[in-house]
């Protein structure tokens, strides 16, 4: 993948290469923020599920 990226930008001017790199960096940064957001939501859901199951087990036994 890295080689393909390098081939694709090799014909560009330095200014264009910088623009492409900046664009790619922003996409990766926003993806990282999304991953953290969804991880936290999943963690909260997991804790809620665990608490619910704990209550359910108490009422069943």
What is the structure's pLDDT at 19?
93
User: What ranges do the domains of the chain cover?
Assistant: 2-60
The overall pTM is greater than 0.85:
no
User: At a CB cut-off of 8 Å and minimum separation 6, what does 17 contact?
Assistant: 9
| Whole-angstrom Cα Rg for the chain | 23
- pLDDT tens digits along 2-53: 888 888 888 899 999 999 989 988 888 877 778 888 888 899 999 999 999 9
């Amino acid at each position: 993948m890295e080689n393909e990226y390098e081939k694709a930008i090799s014909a560009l001017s330095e200014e264009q290469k910088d623009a492409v790199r900046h664009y790619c960096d922003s996409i990766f940064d926003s993806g990282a923020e999304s991953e953290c957001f969804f991880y936290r939501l999943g963690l909260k859901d997991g804790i809620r599920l665990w608490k619910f199951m704990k209550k359910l087990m108490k009422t069943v036994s």
